[in-house]
Chains A and B, each alone.
Chain A
Amino acid sequence: MTEPSAPANQTIRLVVSWLVVGIPLVYALYQTIRSILPLFGG
C-alpha cells in the first residue's frame, strides 16, 4: 500500500502544525543568537 494524494484540508493542518513548532524554534534561535553576539564583539 502506498500513499494516495493527500486531502486538501491536510495542507492547512500541515502548515498550522509546523508553524506551532516552528515559530517557537525561530524565536529561540533569534533570542540565542542575539545573546551570543557579545562573544564575537557584537
Chain B
Amino acid sequence: MAALSFLDREHTVAKPGYSRWLIPPAALAIHLCIGQAYATSVYKNALVSHFDTSLTAIGIIFSIAIVMLGVSAAVMGTWVERVGPRAAMFTAACFWASGFLIGALGIATDQLWLVYLGYGFIGGIGLGIGYISPVSTLIKWFPDRPGLATGMAIMGFGGGALVASPLSRQLMSLYDPNYDSATGQASGGAVAALFLTLAIVYFLVMMLGVFNVKVPAPGWRPEGFDPGKLKAKPMITRANVSAANAIRTPQFWLLWTVLFCNVTAGIGILEQASPMIQDFFREGGTSTVAATAATAFVGLLSIFNMAGRFAWSSTSDFIGRKPTYVMYLGVGMVLYILLAVAGNSSTAVFVLLAAVIISFYGGGFATVPAYLRDLFGTYQVGAIHGRLLTAWSAAGIAGPLIINGFLDAQGEPGELVAADYRPALFTMVGVLAVGFVANLLIRPVASRFHEAEGHTDAFAEAIGRR
C-alpha cells in the first residue's frame, strides 16, 4: 500500500544531521506504553467482580499476554530485522491498541474470552514486537554506548507500569464516582472506558516513536567516535552471526541460562513482595508492617527495578558485560543469603537488600541486548534478542512456582514468618549460582558461525578495517 510506504526500511534511513538523541525517546515511547502489562493488578479486582469469576481466571489474561510476548518476540524477530524499526513499531502499536479495544468490547459485552483474545493474545503480540523493535536500531545509533542506549529503552518498560498504575486509578475514579481505590473496585463500564482511553492514548504516543525512529545511513558514526582507535577486546566481536546460527552456539544457551536464572530469582521476590515484608516482621501473629506500607514497598521496588535498568546497563559500557553479570549473579547470591539470615533484623536492612536485588533483576534485562551485540554483532541482534526472551517466559513460570511451592509447604498465607522464607531464598541462591557459572563459561563465538563479509553493518565494517 502506497499510503504505508513511509514505513519501509528504505524510507527510514536518516539524512545527514539527524540527531541520534531522537531515537531513545522513540524507543521509550514504545516501551512506556507496553510496560502497562505489569500494571494489570490495578483493575484485577474490578474484573473479578464484573465477570463474577476467580482471580485465577482474570490472571490468565496477563499470562496469555506474557506467553505471547515471548512467542512473538522469538518468532517475529527476523521479520522485525527485515522490515526495520518503523514498520515493526507501527505493527506493535496496532496490535497493542487493538488488544485494548477488543478487551474493552469484551468487558462491555460480558465476554471474558474476548478479553483473553484481545488484551491477552493480540495485545501480547504487540508486546513482543514492541519490546524488540527499537533494540537493534538503538545499538546501531550508539555503537559507543550500547548499554546506555538499550538501558534507556528497557527502563521505559519498567516505567510503563509506574505510569499506568496511578493513571488507571485516576481514570477509573473519573469514569466511576463509586470507584474504591483501596479495594480497586470499579464498575465494568469504568474498566471498559479505561481500556478504550488507553487504546487511544497508547496508539498516539507509540506513533511518536514510529515517526521519530530512523536507521543510520551506511557509514554513519557518532561525532568523535573512531572505531579504529578502540582497543580490541576479546569479548566484543568484530564479526556478525545470524539469528539462525546464534541459537546453534553454546554462547546463546549459556546467556539464555544467565537471563533465566537472574529473572527467576528476581520474579520470586517481586511476585511475593507485599506479603513478604509483612511476614518478615510478624511477631505473635501480627505484622509490624502495615498493609499500606507493604503496598508502598512494592512501589519502591518498581522504582529500583526501573533505575537498575538504566544505571547498571550504562555501567556495563565501562566495566564490560561479563563482569556486570558477575556482579548481578555473584553479589546477588550474597544479598539473597543476607536477606535470608538477617533480613528480619530491621525494615531498613530488608528494604535495602530487596531494592538492590530488584535493581539487578532490572539491570539483567537491560544489559542483555548489549551482551548479545558483543557476542553476535549487530547484524540480527534484535532477532537474537527476541529468541533469548523465551528465557523470560520460562522464568515467569519457574520463579513463582519455586517461591509459592516452598511457602505453601511452610504454612498458611498470613501466618508465615521470616524463617519460612529461608528454603525458598536459599534455593534462589542455588539458581543464581547456576547462572553465575553459565556466565563464567561464556567465551567468544567460534568463527565457523560468523557471516561472510557483506552481512555486516557500518560499525562492524569500520572495526574490521583496523
User: Which residues of A does B touch, CB under 8 Å?
Assistant: 1-7, 10, 13-14, 17-18, 20-21, 24-25, 27-29, 31-33, 35-39
Contact = CB atoms under 8 A, between A and B. Distances in A.
A8 B222 CA distance: 19
A32 B17 CA distance: 38
Given A3-B222, A20-B205, 17 more contacts: A1-B16, A2-B224, A3-B223, A10-B22, A14-B19, A20-B208, A21-B29, A21-B205, A25-B163, A29-B303, A32-B165, A32-B166, A35-B296, A36-B296, A38-B290, A39-B300, A39-B347
Contact of B221 (A1, A21, A28, A31): A1
Contacts, number: 99
The 4 closest A-B pairs by CB, nearest first: A28-B162, A31-B166, A17-B25, A36-B296
Interface stretch (B212-220, B408-416, B449-457): B212-220
A36 B22 contact: no
22 contacts: A1-B221, A3-B19, A3-B20, A3-B223, A17-B26, A20-B208, A21-B25, A24-B163, A24-B167, A25-B162, A27-B166, A28-B162, A29-B303, A31-B165, A32-B300, A35-B299, A36-B297, A36-B299, A36-B300, A38-B296, A39-B297, A39-B300
Contacts of B290: 38
B17 A17 contact: no
Given A18-B25, A28-B159, A35-B299, A10 B293 contact: no
A2 B223 contact: yes
B215 to A, nearest CB: 14
Which of A3, A18, A25 lies at the interface centre, i.e. has the most chain B CB atoms within 10 A of its CB?
A3
Contacts of A18: 25
B434 interface: no
A21 B23 CA distance: 12
Contacts of A37: 296
Contact of B22 (A14, A27, A29): A14
Contacts of A20: 25, 29, 205, 208
Interface of B: 16-22, 25-26, 28-29, 32, 156, 159, 162-163, 165-167, 205, 208, 212, 217, 219-224, 290, 292-293, 295-297, 299-300, 302-303, 347, 351
A37 B32 CA distance: 24
A21 B297 contact: no
Contacts of A21: 25, 28-29, 32, 156, 205, 208
B208 A28 contact: no
A34 B353 CA distance: 22
A32 B303 contact: yes
A31 B17 CA distance: 38
A10 B205 contact: no
Contact of A13 (B22, B32, B219, B351): B22
Contacts of B162: 25, 28-29, 31-32
Nearest to B27: A21
A20 B22 CA distance: 12
A23 to B, nearest CB: 10
A35 B293 CA distance: 9
Contacts of A32: 162, 165-166, 299-300, 302-303
Contacts of B224: 2
Contacts of B302: 32
